[in-house]
Chains A and B, each alone.
Chain A
Amino acid sequence: MKPVIGLETHIELKTKSKMFCPCSADYFGKKPNTHTCPVCLGLPGALPVPNKTAIEWCVMLGMALNCDIPQFSKFDRKNYFYPDLPKGYQISQYAEPFCLKGSIKLDSGKTIGITRVHMEEDTGKLIHESIDGQDVTLIDFNRSGVPLVEIVTQPDFDNTKDVIDYLKKLQQIARYLDISNADMEKGDMRLEPNISLQKKGKTGLPNYKVEVKNINSFRFVEKSINYEIDRQTKILNEGKTPTQETRGWDENKQKTVTQRIKEESSDYRYFPEPDIPPVRWTELQITNYKLQIPELPDKKLHRFIKQYQLNDYDAEILTRETILADYFEETVTLGKKYGLTPKQIVNFIINRRVDPKNILPAKLIRRVISAGKTDEINDETLRKIIKKVLKENPKIAEDYKKGKTSVIQFAIGQAMYIIKKKIDTEFLKKLIIEELK
């Protein structure tokens, strides 16, 4: 049996203000209900005014995912009741989203179809607590109205490796575009795989679908998909069909559990949002957004390999985040004057785990040069030597704990005595401190 997997991913944008009001969208860890106004509280008479930046970012994300950008687009109301939804409807996009029909290429060589990328608003947050012995539910509306982009794929995945690769790529693209921190732990990115199994020899989609809602870690996605594949295989092997339903991942039980059984698709009574005029793009606007899209991870990776003659491994590490990639390129440009090759620089950055925030390119070059005058010795050997020194001189650790940092100089001397080579003492010092901690 072949797994058929599709993904819905919500990414929270890091715009200054919320999607439809001027409230700050930076809600994480803030005092409840301090980032609110008549609009995001759903007070009578309040009206939404769309955030232009959020819309532009949504379009740019769509473009980065090779989507078509229709000239006409509009918002719709998705009507449903839930206490965290103050208006009784969510402003979303149904029939005419900003981006349609895109694709993304995975490392496995497979291409995944992107059905749509659309704009919507986040809900408030329910907090279940016990106050004075009474179970209560509190609502924090700070998150209400924060801009969310939803990315929907075709059911093109058949294994978890591709799913995780896709999600990492999506996260990386969002960060490259600088539109979201895409921080899983803060809920910036929420994942919903839908999983079913296709019997051998059959074509088309299976006649059921199981959705796993609101997962906030790549690991849990992997686990929940694998769990579902096992669970559904068993059911199908018994000659039954798994129930069409929404499930959730329970990390404690290490399994998915039923949340809501869907007999039919829910009726959200979508209709065009009358408070927001439709969006009509001009050719010029679309061209302008295209020009604003920076070099994306895939392109950068290939350029690095070609331009700097790097191997795949080095280039991949360097292009994970733009900050490191930019830092590398700046250092290469500067390093040319001193006859340093890109390979020397990348080796130093990767082996010494250089943090671009802590050392300026010019200083890095000096260190690469001075390291070049020294002998190279691998980390493992160095660590063994340091461990030996610390074991033979327990007083070093004692003094260091007391705050006598000068004792490190002594440790460096001891280590150098054993190494008997000229090495980069700065790096040695860093490793000794790491060991002491």
Chain B
Amino acid sequence: MSLNTISIKQAREGLSKKKFSSEELVNACLFEIKKGKSLNAFITVCEKEALEKARLSDKKIKEEVDLPLLGIPISLKDIYLTKGIKTTAGSRILEDYIPQYSATVVKNLEDAGAIIVGKTNCDAWAHGSSGENSDYGHTKNPWNEEYVPGGSSSGSAVSVAANMALSSTGTDTGGSIRLPASFCNVVGLKPTYGRVSRYGIVAMASSLDSIGHFTKNVDDSALMLSITAGKDPNDATTPDNKVDAYENYLNKGVKNIKIGIPKEYFLEGLDKRIKEKIKNSIKLLETQGANIEYISLPHTQYAVACYYIIQPAEVSSNLARYDRIRYGNDRSFFGDEAKRRIMLGTYVLSSGYYDAYYKKAMRVRTLVKKDFDNAFKKVDVIITPVSPTLPWKIGEKTSDPLAMYLSDIYTVTANLAGIPGLSVPIGFIDNLPVGMQILGPHFSEGKLFQAGKACEYA
């Protein structure tokens, strides 16, 4: 077993028992990054700074300083602002942008002792489902380099799957964490909207953006959330709700847990092999004592249409600040997908069209949310596929934006409703990974970890 393949939990144990040093651990990740250069997972690698910090961490470990992530190498989606480290959001507009401040989450992770090994590649402005919209070249799937790794947090998922970091942060506006997690065989968490601060993270669609992470297992996902979650005085959309002791949920098992299976998520269009895989996983949960209930989320079919009105509307407004007056390159550096969304968003917000599009979409959004509210009166969690298909070949859908948008069909609902979603690996089909999605009510991340962990045993 090489050092970088271990989980955070294992690494913490090894570090505290002095089995290996943080420097060795960081070096192992840096080696993997170099080895896997063809995957194009990173935009910036912070080799020097990471090693410096690793040596400092080793000193602290010797002094028996106890921090939850002390000496642990992680990577950050290049949409998280890092003071003094270039942050591009995957776009050439910000190709030389060095932020004056760090995102709240970055501060929290660094305060917890984490070491940033680099900034990962992503679809420009987080626009995309495949990682192919990056202005810095597309990221490749580590399980088969001819395939997409999923997006938009493509490099983040790959960096964890390919052992380049023990965990990585991502953002999920319509599936951008859960989809690449599923395509790369790692655990991906999209927390409840507002559970984790958005301050200092380049905004895509502000009412949908959720700030989450990738890990190798569910335990690590719970640990990461316990560090990133909570109220941030700099983000007015983070409520006061207490942060749960997530670790307490991990070994509860699923006995008597009610799991809902929504029929709308298993209709035509879903790869039959994926359907089978999920059915098997559900059966295994049943054998562990879970109660399965078949439910309906009747407005599911409108979710993608609704999402592709609200999201571009907010995108068009959020990208207006990139005008080159204070920083960055001029607007001609926007890629096709950003331009497409700016035009769509501007159109749906224009007077005369607002009522027909934006206002109506907001009504549909309320209905989608109500679907979940009603469902969670009956069940504890809901299980669905993450993606209707397996990872596709690079270039396969780039000329058909609509087909690309449809890959978000099972993930956008959670963003519209603001509920948390966890993607857990459930195996392989044709040597390509498959994930399963667990959804829960607002602020029920603990329950998702509980069910997710049971899947790992399954």
Interface residues of A (CB under 8 A from B): 38, 41-50, 77, 79, 81, 83, 86-89, 139, 265, 267, 269-271, 274-277
Does chain A have a CB within 8 A of B2?
no
Chain B residues numbered 90-107 whose CB sits less than 8 Å from any CB in chain A: 94, 97, 99-101, 103
Binds A, one of B160-168, B214-222, B332-340, B344-352: B344-352
Extra A-B contacts (10), CB below 8 Å, given A47-B199, A47-B237, A88-B323: A42-B321, A43-B326, A44-B203, A45-B103, A45-B202, A49-B235, A86-B326, A139-B325, A265-B351, A274-B314
Q: How far is the CA of A176 from the CA of B114 in the complex (A)?
A: 54
- Chain B, Cβ-Cβ closest to A88: B320
User: Chain B contacts of A45 at CB under 8 A?
Assistant: 81, 99, 103, 198-203
User: Chain B contacts of A271 at CB under 8 A?
Assistant: 313-314, 317, 349, 354, 358
Checking A267, A269, A277 against B237 with a beta-carbon cut-off of 8 angstroms, the contacting residue is A277
Contact status of A46 and B236, CB under 8 A, knowing A139-B325, A274-B207, A275-B206:
no
B236 touches A47 (CB 8 A): yes
Per-residue A-contact encoding for B100-121, CB less than 8 Å = 1, 0 else: 1101000000000000000000
Chain B's nearest CB lies how many Å from the CB of A128? 15
Chain B residues numbered 73-88 whose CB sits less than 8 Å from any CB in chain A: 81, 87
Contact sample, A vs B, 11 pairs, CB 8 Å cutoff: A38-B101, A41-B326, A43-B100, A44-B81, A44-B202, A45-B99, A47-B235, A49-B234, A83-B323, A269-B316, A269-B346
User: Chain A contacts of B202 at CB under 8 A?
Assistant: 44-45
Chain A's nearest CB lies how many Å from the CB of B385? 28
Chain B residues numbered 207-228 whose CB sits less than 8 Å from any CB in chain A: 207
Does chain A have a CB within 8 A of B327?
yes
User: Chain B contacts of A269 at CB under 8 A?
Assistant: 316-317, 346, 349-351, 354
Number of A-B residue pairs at CB separation under 8 A: 96
- Chain B, Cβ-Cβ closest to A20: B236
A89 touches B199 (CB 8 A): no
Contact status of A87 and B321, CB under 8 A, knowing A275-B236, A276-B236:
yes
Q: Which 4 A-B residue pairs are closest in the complex by CB-CB distance?
A: A88-B320, A274-B207, A269-B349, A274-B206
Q: How far is the CA of A42 from the CA of B326 in the complex (A)?
A: 9
User: Chain A contacts of B87 at CB under 8 A?
Assistant: 44
- Chain B, Cβ-Cβ closest to A264: B351
Checking A48, A83, A277 against B325 with a beta-carbon cut-off of 8 angstroms, the contacting residue is A83
- Chain A, Cβ-Cβ closest to B358: A271
Checking A43, A88, A276, A277 against B317 with a beta-carbon cut-off of 8 angstroms, the contacting residue is A88
B199 touches A44 (CB 8 A): no
User: Chain B contacts of A44 at CB under 8 A?
Assistant: 81, 87, 89, 94, 97, 99, 202-203, 321
User: Chain B contacts of A83 at CB under 8 A?
Assistant: 323, 325
User: Chain A contacts of B199 at CB under 8 A?
Assistant: 45-47
Q: How far is the CA of A38 from the CA of B349 in the complex (A)?
A: 27
Does chain A have a CB within 8 A of B233?
yes
**Contact residues on B (Cβ < 8 Å of other chain), bracket:** 35 or more
Checking A47, A86, A270, A276 against B321 with a beta-carbon cut-off of 8 angstroms, the contacting residue is A86
User: Chain A contacts of B346 at CB under 8 A?
Assistant: 269
Q: How far is the CA of A271 from the CA of B311 in the complex (A)?
A: 12
Most buried by B among A47, A49, A270: A47
User: Chain A contacts of B323 at CB under 8 A?
Assistant: 81, 83, 88
B358 touches A267 (CB 8 A): no
Checking B89, B201, B237, B325 against A275 with a beta-carbon cut-off of 8 angstroms, the contacting residue is B237
A88 touches B321 (CB 8 A): yes
Q: How far is the CA of A271 from the CA of B321 in the complex (A)?
A: 17
Chain B's nearest CB lies how many Å from the CB of A120? 16
B236 touches A48 (CB 8 A): yes
User: Chain A contacts of B206 at CB under 8 A?
Assistant: 274-275
- Chain B, Cβ-Cβ closest to A80: B320
User: Chain B contacts of A79 at CB under 8 A?
Assistant: 316-317, 320, 349
- Chain B, Cβ-Cβ closest to A267: B351
Contact status of A49 and B233, CB under 8 A, knowing A38-B100, A41-B326:
yes
B234 touches A89 (CB 8 A): no
Q: How far is the CA of A77 from the CA of B346 in the complex (A)?
A: 13
Q: How far is the CA of A86 from the CA of B97 in the complex (A)?
A: 16
Q: How far is the CA of A350 from the CA of B426 in the complex (A)?
A: 88
- Chain A, Cβ-Cβ closest to B328: A44
Chain B's nearest CB lies how many Å from the CB of A393? 66
Chain B residues numbered 175-207 whose CB sits less than 8 Å from any CB in chain A: 198-203, 205-207
Chain B's nearest CB lies how many Å from the CB of A41? 6
User: Chain B contacts of A77 at CB under 8 A?
Assistant: 317
User: Chain A contacts of B349 at CB under 8 A?
Assistant: 79, 269-271
- Chain B, Cβ-Cβ closest to A77: B317
User: Chain B contacts of A277 at CB under 8 A?
Assistant: 236-237
User: Chain A contacts of B234 at CB under 8 A?
Assistant: 47, 49
Q: How far is the CA of A44 from the CA of B200 in the complex (A)?
A: 7
Q: How far is the CA of A254 from the CA of B385 in the complex (A)?
A: 71
Chain A's nearest CB lies how many Å from the CB of B332? 15
Q: How far is the CA of A134 from the CA of B233 in the complex (A)?
A: 44
Q: How far is the CA of A273 from the CA of B236 in the complex (A)?
A: 11
- Chain B, Cβ-Cβ closest to A78: B317
A47 touches B198 (CB 8 A): yes
Q: How far is the CA of A50 from the CA of B234 in the complex (A)?
A: 10
- Chain B, Cβ-Cβ closest to A265: B351
Most buried by B among A86, A88, A265: A88
Checking B207, B236, B320 against A49 with a beta-carbon cut-off of 8 angstroms, the contacting residue is B236
A89 touches B317 (CB 8 A): yes
Chain B's nearest CB lies how many Å from the CB of A34? 15
Q: How far is the CA of A46 from the CA of B74 in the complex (A)?
A: 23
Chain B's nearest CB lies how many Å from the CB of A147? 15
Chain B's nearest CB lies how many Å from the CB of A270? 8
Q: How far is the CA of A88 from the CA of B318 in the complex (A)?
A: 8
Most buried by A among B81, B316, B325: B325
User: Chain B contacts of A41 at CB under 8 A?
Assistant: 326
A50 touches B236 (CB 8 A): yes
Most buried by A among B99, B103, B349: B349
User: Chain B contacts of A270 at CB under 8 A?
Assistant: 349, 354
Q: How far is the CA of A274 from the CA of B198 in the complex (A)?
A: 12
Chain B's nearest CB lies how many Å from the CB of A45? 4
Q: How far is the CA of A38 from the CA of B201 in the complex (A)?
A: 12
Chain A's nearest CB lies how many Å from the CB of B394? 29
Q: How far is the CA of A50 from the CA of B319 in the complex (A)?
A: 21
Q: How far is the CA of A277 from the CA of B101 in the complex (A)?
A: 24
Q: How far is the CA of A88 from the CA of B321 in the complex (A)?
A: 5
Chain B residues numbered 283-305 whose CB sits less than 8 Å from any CB in chain A: none
Most buried by B among A38, A41, A50, A81: A38
B99 touches A43 (CB 8 A): yes
User: Chain B contacts of A88 at CB under 8 A?
Assistant: 317, 319-321, 323
Most buried by A among B97, B236, B327, B351: B236
User: Chain A contacts of B235 at CB under 8 A?
Assistant: 47, 49
Q: How far is the CA of A50 from the CA of B358 in the complex (A)?
A: 25
Q: How far is the CA of A81 from the CA of B97 in the complex (A)?
A: 22
Chain B's nearest CB lies how many Å from the CB of A33? 10
User: Chain B contacts of A81 at CB under 8 A?
Assistant: 320, 323
User: Chain B contacts of A274 at CB under 8 A?
Assistant: 205-207, 237, 314
Q: How far is the CA of A271 from the CA of B347 in the complex (A)?
A: 13
